[in-house]
């Protein structure tokens, strides 16, 4: 005679197998696979090499911040922004990290270029004002803040 515990265990396993099999195939939520890759023209006019180099240098900066000598990170960020000048968001993020490292002059140069870029985000002028304040140029900071408010007034609230 089969002990009751083994009979109960077999029943639970069989019920679990049947319950899992009845639901059909499991799919993770999200897009259907395989995904279509965007056409190369939709990635921008910059060749893949400068973009890859920029991302690699940015990743090296993050690596230096986290585990390497952190004083090397701002230089890696600056090289990343110079490798791919078509990325205004990369310039802005690089400038933000340079400001954190008190490297005001290179951050100012990046932000001034990003402020002139037509696809740059509206927050660039506010960050430019911060860079001007950090460098002691208060009049330029006031003008940059006024421009930031004029371009993106909903950011105040």
pLDDT, tens digit, for every residue of 24-80? 554 544 444 444 555 444 445 556 788 888 888 988 988 888 987 888 888 998 998
- pTM for this entry: 0.63
CA dist., res. 103 & res. 118, Å (int): 25
In this predicted structure, what is the pLDDT of residue 120?
63
Report whether pLDDT(152) > 60.
yes
Residue 109: partners with Cβ closer than 8 Å, 6 or more residues away = none
Does 60 sit behind a cis peptide bond, omega within 30 degrees of 0 on the bond before it? no
In this predicted structure, what is the pLDDT of residue 32?
47
Say if CB 94 and CB 83 are below 8 A apart: no
CA dist., res. 95 & res. 89, Å (int): 10
In this predicted structure, what is the pLDDT of residue 51?
84
pLDDT digits (tens, 9 = 90+) for 69-127: 888 888 998 998 888 877 778 888 889 889 988 999 999 998 988 888 766 676 888 89
In this predicted structure, what is the pLDDT of residue 30?
43
């Amino acid at each position: 005679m089969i002990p009751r515990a083994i009979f109960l265990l077999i029943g639970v396993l069989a019920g679990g197998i049947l319950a899992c099999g009845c639901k059909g195939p499991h799919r993770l939520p999200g897009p259907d696979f395989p995904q279509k890759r965007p056409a190369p023209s939709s990635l921008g006019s910059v060749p893949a090499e400068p973009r890859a180099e920029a991302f690699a240098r940015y990743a090296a900066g993050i690596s230096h911040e986290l585990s390497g000598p952190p004083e090397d990170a701002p230089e890696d960020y600056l090289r990343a922004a110079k490798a791919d000048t078509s990325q205004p968001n990369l310039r802005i993020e690089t400038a933000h990290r340079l400001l954190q490292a008190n490297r005001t002059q290179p951050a100012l140069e990046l932000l001034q270029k990003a402020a002139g870029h037509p696809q740059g985000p509206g927050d660039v002028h506010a960050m430019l004002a911060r860079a001007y304040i950090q460098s002691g140029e208060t009049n330029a900071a006031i003008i940059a803040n006024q421009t930031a408010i004029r371009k993106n007034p909903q950011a105040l609230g």
